[in-house]
Amino acid sequence: MPVPEKPALEGLEDSLAARWERDGTYRFDRTKSRQQIYSIDTPPPTVSGSLHVGHVFSYTHTDFIARFQRMRGKEVFYPMGWDDNGLPTERRVQNFFGVRCDPSLPYVPNLTPPDKPDKPISVSRPNFIELCTKLTIEDEKAFEQLWRYLGLSVDWSMTYATIGRDAQLVSQKMFLRLLAKKLAYQVEAPTLWDVDFKTAVAQAELEDREQPGAYHKIHFYREPGAGNREPIAIETTRPELIPACVALVAHPDDERYKHLFDTHVITPLFGVRVPVRAHALADPEKGSGIAMICTFGDTTDVTWWRELKLPVRAIVQANGALGPVTWGQPGWESADPARAQAAYDQLAGLSSKKAQAKIVELLRESGDLQGEPKPITHNVKFYEKGDRPLEIVTSRQWFIKTIDYRDEFIKRGQEISWHPPYMQARFDNWVNGLNGDWCISRQRFFGVPFPVWYPILANGTIDYANVIVPPEERLPLDPSTDVPDGYSADQRGKPGGFVGDPDIMDTWATSSISPQLVSGWERDPDLFKRTFPLDLRPQAHDIIRTWLFSSVVRAHFENESVPWTNAAISGWVLDPDRKKMSKSKGNVVTPLALLKEHGSDGVRYWAARGGPGVDTAFDPGQMKIGRKLAMKVLNVSKFVLAGDQPEGKVTEALDRGMLQNLAVVVDEATAELENYEYAKALAKIESFFWDFCDNYVEAAKSRRYGDFGPEAAASASTAMRLALSVLLRLLAPYLAFATEEVWSWTNSGSIHRARWPARDELISVSGTDASAARAVQHVTEALNAIRKGKTDQKVSVGTPVKEVVYRAAEDAIACLKLVERDLKAASRSETLILRAGEPGVEVTLKPPSAEATGGKPAEG
């Protein structure tokens, strides 16, 4: 392809993306050995949302590394996944199709949801999943287009979906392996619970939100005959949980309450006899210093309940409302059951919030509320996607063991190279701060089901202790539709029959197996051998505690290995208020519009300036600069490559010095990129590139035009072409489009499969004499001084002048003698005098000629 007359960036994204696809430029060659392969565990973006500028930022970082490794000669394994699993998709499907999932229904083949049903229709879980797939497939196409336009060098023949068949297979198989090793277990226990989604949630999915609340001072009483009848004042923010109170607790050293320890007190309204206990977690400074333990108000209650071995009196149901209670029954003993019942009946069926208002009335009437509630704001735990505070509900859930293995996880963390290194501390902090095993079951529908069933005993109760496990060959399966071996379908739900586990796996339980999923674990042993453990996990820092941690757990238990050897943690994109861009309102920029406006190379350049782990400001100004850089690449390339330039030996000092300096840049940039410091590498490359354009090319230009004969010209053009070739390759990971465009003018293959530059290809041409390298630096200084001399006299730097006298240190002058011809030509002076001495420059203009004076009127 010839050098174009007017090179342009417009349209390169579409035309080159199409060419890369046609030529299979990024196609993974799976015949290469593990040594030759560089494998990436790409994060699958959530397709139910939309891609934002933060995604563009971090995915581009991965692409820099992928392109660098590919040019270094590695065969890059770079798949892309779609996270179409989980609650966001489920909610969208419900609204879009007007359906609800009912796992008890059988699968209906070829189900089409009606247009606009009046009320949601119920469908089976497999049908629901089909609809999810149908909806997300469109999103995935749009995402792929954006990634192609941005220039991600992904092998698009290797995509996966987190709800896909393989993802289910791997998730279920790895779960059964954990079960067999007793690393997964189920237990009925208090669990953090979202009352709207009606599902358990994990520690990692919590967030705190500031909420208004109030301290209520309420009265408990000592048992008759156990001392004075003065009420004991307890401060609580959740008076509605008084009926669930199982004890009071104070600090063991608290003198105010020591006399009450191991005595009993009576709860207000309900007359329940509860013990007073001592526990170090009770804070004497807080409230009245003595607290109510309820089953369960918060996680501290759970701790106390467990450690003090207290009974359960649970009142909050799965839907968040207070459930029915018959007072006087075992577990609900009361000194006055009729009174307790009368009070409780006014609370039953109400949500926590409404029950609280009601019980305040009741307490006021009975005189057990001291003063008025004192409003406060406090942090309350929420499910990160939820709308109401979490409750703690006792339910049967699946767990993966983690707390007993914390030390092993920390050791795995040490086997991973973290980029930047300090991110490892976040991992260590999280692991050391774990306070319970990992709850992986969710009471939702759109996700990977637990592939197990339970027998139903003759009396109709479910025998959870004897889990029915399928052979691995049957996976993936859905226990709500599939039937366990040895049973028939009509035995489902019947005494003597079976029932499927109704739950699905937590989103992190399924996404944590992405290393095994992409590498073909247990499905493609050949691929697995060549890619696992992977070389790189790129991801953002906010999900170290979730995705990164859970992936380490799974690989540790299944593969006895780390899942990958490098973790590259990218920062966030911040808006001008220093808030995370994707979270604050009204600042989300459509990525495609951004790419169209500034060009993909412009946006890639901006992304490249945010180093690993560094939160970076959204800055269109940087994108403009990137676009200018890309444009400059096109233009200087046009100059260097256009026309028939003579080839020959590189003999001139200026040329050899420039190539030597470039060799240093190659070494430095390579070292930075090997260390995942793509931003630092770019800064060095870019700085050299501009110096090359503004100083070297300017100084060598006259000679290359042939002003000093063909051999001198050949030296210049040969050196320039070599330098350009190296610079293009150094810039290729960043400016994927502009560099490919230029490369195509003189090469047939893709620059992205070209060899990464090495110092040898430069040094073998330039030699290594230090004076030549220094001469280039001195030429730049001299040129700058001479240009300043001209600018001071208000003439263009291209103006021919009569005489230039340049003075500098003796060794600088000695170097400049080597390149005197070039300097004289670039300064456009009839006479150039180089002199050792105090640094300085004198530029003598030509006397104004008759035509010049006549043609240009003097300033007024």
Q: Which of residues 217-276 bind RNA (CB under 7 A)?
A: 234-238, 249-250
CB of 95: closest distance to RNA in angstroms? 28
Q: How many CA atoms lie within 13 A of 739 on its CB side?
A: 26
CB of 428: closest distance to RNA in angstroms? 8
Between the alpha carbon of residue 189 and those of residues 181, 205, 396, 397, 826, the distances in Å are 21, 18, 6, 8, 82
Burial of residue 652 (CB within 10 Å: 0-12, 13-18, 19+) is: buried
CB of 646: closest distance to RNA in angstroms? 16
Per rule CB under 7 A, is residue 787 in the interface with RNA?
yes
Give strand pairing partners of 266: 221, 273
Stretch that binds RNA, among 118-126, 204-212, 521-529, 650-658 (CB under 7 A): 204-212
Q: Which is nearer to RNA, 111 or 380 (CB)?
A: 380
Helices (H) and strands (E) in the chain, counts: 27, 29
Stretch that binds RNA, among 164-172, 447-455, 560-568, 621-629 (CB under 7 A): 621-629
CB of 292: closest distance to RNA in angstroms? 6
| Residues of span 9-38 touching RNA by CB under 7 A | 9
Q: Which is nearer to RNA, 492 or 609 (CB)?
A: 609
Contact 613, 419 (CB under 8 A): yes
Sign of CA dihedral 318, 320, 321, 325: positive
CB of 289: closest distance to RNA in angstroms? 6
Per rule CB under 7 A, is residue 788 in the interface with RNA?
yes
**CA 383, CA 386: separation in Å to the nearest integer?**
5
Q: Which is nearer to RNA, 135 or 683 (CB)?
A: 683
Stretch that binds RNA, among 557-565, 609-617, 746-754, 771-779 (CB under 7 A): 609-617
Per rule CB under 7 A, is residue 388 in the interface with RNA?
no
Token pair listed for 52: 């934002």
H/E stretch holding 277:
strand 273-278
Contact 356, 238 (CB under 8 A): yes
x/- mask, RNA, residues 661-700, rule CB under 7 A, reads -------------------x--x---x--x--xxx-xx--
Per rule CB under 7 A, is residue 429 in the interface with RNA?
yes
What SS3 class is residue 539?
strand
Per rule CB under 7 A, is residue 784 in the interface with RNA?
yes
Q: Which is nearer to RNA, 117 or 576 (CB)?
A: 576
x/- mask, RNA, residues 34-63, rule CB under 7 A, reads ------------------------------
**CA neighbor of 11 nearest in space, from 737, 746, 602, 743:** 737
CB atoms within 10 A of CB 266: 20
**CA 441, CA 399: separation in Å to the nearest integer?**
7
| Residues of span 722-751 touching RNA by CB under 7 A | none
Q: Which is nearer to RNA, 225 or 860 (CB)?
A: 860
Stretch that binds RNA, among 38-46, 79-87, 456-464, 797-805 (CB under 7 A): 797-805
Per rule CB under 7 A, is residue 422 in the interface with RNA?
yes
Contact 491, 498 (CB under 8 A): yes
Between the alpha carbon of residue 213 and those of residues 377, 389, 500, the distances in Å are 6, 12, 42
**CA 826, CA 828: separation in Å to the nearest integer?**
5
Per rule CB under 7 A, is residue 300 in the interface with RNA?
yes
CB of 212: closest distance to RNA in angstroms? 12
Q: Which is nearer to RNA, 220 or 398 (CB)?
A: 220
| Residues of span 533-562 touching RNA by CB under 7 A | 541-542, 545
Burial of residue 517 (CB within 10 Å: 0-12, 13-18, 19+) is: buried
x/- mask, RNA, residues 360-379, rule CB under 7 A, reads ------------------xx
Per rule CB under 7 A, is residue 215 in the interface with RNA?
yes
Token pair listed for 566: 């490098």
Q: Which of 15, 488, 764, 791 binds RNA (CB under 7 A)?
A: 791
Token pair listed for 251: 């600090």
What SS3 class is residue 402?
coil
**CA neighbor of 74 nearest in space, from 534, 662, 685:** 534
CB of 243: closest distance to RNA in angstroms? 16
CB of 78: closest distance to RNA in angstroms? 26
Q: Which of 617, 758, 814, 845 binds RNA (CB under 7 A)?
A: 617
Q: Which of 351, 370, 561, 635 binds RNA (CB under 7 A)?
A: 635
What SS3 class is residue 596?
helix
Q: Which is nearer to RNA, 687 or 768 (CB)?
A: 687
Per rule CB under 7 A, is residue 809 in the interface with RNA?
no
**CA neighbor of 165 nearest in space, from 478, 531, 537, 550:** 478
Per rule CB under 7 A, is residue 794 in the interface with RNA?
yes
Contact 282, 289 (CB under 8 A): yes
